[in-house]
């Protein structure tokens, strides 16, 4: 099998119609006509498997936003649907079927089968998520949980609850009882309310980002205007300083001239008194 540009996708030659094969964790997923279809099928398989394992999916061929919760939930249903036991498998009556573990939850007087998982932890995770959905409470306020949900963020919790919510609603509607229908309606209403809150939060974040951009743009414009005004102010101040200096120099020069005139005026009477006897002798 030849390698392809997508992760988990290979090209085969023995299938003339569907020449691309998708595989996840060395397990066969299916044959597809185009490489894009095989890559998307492989990404959905990875998202579903990582959901059951309680981990975040990575190394996807396309972005996570291209896959809806319904698509992931369909693959999770396919992986968790119990198969008919083979002659080598048997139910031991302790919540496990052969090599799989059943995740069940009690609704009114009925026990609803949610999933059939490979590990006990995966079954407990699905059961805890369903309990939180039915109680309408966060992990710290929900009762009867098996696992520790302290390190899970609200966004991760909501992503993990989405496929469980869809499957729980279908199971409740299949029971066809009044209490189950009420619970299913409540779950759907809660999902719509959460989506509306998320839309409002996104709008608020967009408005805040727009306001921040406008404030930063106005501050930048005011700073640029201030920088443009600064040279003009400095040149005007320099001209005023030069004019003041010239006036001070002129005043100092005038004062020195006046002082010189005063000194000359003081010397003139003394000279006249000294020359008076000589003038008298000439007259005689």
Q: Angle at the Cα of 92 (from 88 to 93), degrees rounded to 5?
A: 145
Q: Is the pLDDT of residue 84 over 50?
A: no
Mean pLDDT across the chain, nearest whole number?
Answer: 78
Least confident interval from 44-58, 219-233, 253-267: 219-233
The pLDDT of residue 229: 63
Q: Angle at the Cα of 226 (from 220 to 228), degrees rounded to 5?
A: 105
Q: Is the pLDDT of residue 140 over 50?
A: yes
Q: Tell me, which fold does domain 1-67 have in CATH?
A: GCC-box Binding Domain (3.30.730)
Residue 278, CA atoms < 13 Å, CB-side half-sphere: 5
The pLDDT of residue 43: 92
Full-prediction pTM beyond 0.85?
A: no
3-state secondary structure of 25: coil
The pLDDT of residue 195: 79
Residue that wins the pLDDT comparison between 95 and 60: 60
Alpha-carbon distance of 116 to 52, in angstroms, equals: 10
The pLDDT of residue 224: 75
Residue that wins the pLDDT comparison between 108 and 204: 204
Q: Is the pLDDT of residue 81 over 60?
A: yes
CB atoms within 10 A of CB 284: 4
The pLDDT of residue 88: 32
What number is the average pLDDT over the span 213-236? 72
φ, ψ (nearest 5 deg) of residue 18:
-110, 95
What number is the average pLDDT over the span 25-47? 88
Q: What ranges do the domains of the chain cover? A: 1-67, 69-83+93-192
């Amino acid at each position: 099998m030849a390698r392809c540009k997508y992760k988990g996708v290979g090209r085969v030659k023995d299938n003339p119609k569907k020449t691309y094969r998708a595989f996840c964790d060395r397990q066969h997923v299916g044959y597809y006509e185009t490489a894009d279809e095989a890559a998307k099928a492989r990404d959905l398989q990875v998202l579903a498997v990582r959901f059951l394992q309680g981990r975040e999916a990575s190394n996807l061929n396309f972005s996570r936003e291209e896959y809806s919760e319904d698509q992931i939930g369909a693959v999770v249903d396919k992986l968790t649907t119990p198969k008919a036991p083979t002659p080598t498998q048997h139910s031991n009556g302790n919540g496990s079927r052969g090599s799989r573990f059943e995740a069940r939850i009690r609704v009114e007087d009925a026990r609803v089968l949610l999933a059939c998982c490979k590990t006990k932890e995966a079954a407990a995770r699905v059961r805890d998520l369903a309990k939180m959905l039915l109680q309408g409470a966060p992990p710290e306020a929900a009762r009867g949980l098996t696992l520790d949900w302290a390190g899970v963020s609200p966004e991760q919790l909501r992503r993990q609850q989405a496929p469980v919510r869809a499957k729980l609603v279908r199971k409740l509607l299949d029971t066809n009882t009044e209490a189950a229908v009420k619970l299913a309606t409540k779950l759907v209403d809660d999902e719509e309310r959460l989506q509306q809150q998320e839309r409002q939060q996104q709008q608020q974040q967009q408005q805040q980002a727009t306001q921040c951009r406008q404030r930063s743009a106005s501050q930048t414009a005011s700073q640029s205007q201030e920088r443009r005004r600064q040279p003009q102010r400095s040149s005007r101040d320099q001209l005023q300083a030069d004019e003041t200096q010239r006036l001070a120099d002129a005043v100092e020069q005038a004062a020195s001239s006046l002082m010189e005139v005063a000194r000359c005026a003081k010397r003139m009477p003394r000279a006249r008194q000294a020359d008076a006897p000589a003038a008298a002798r000439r007259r005689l």
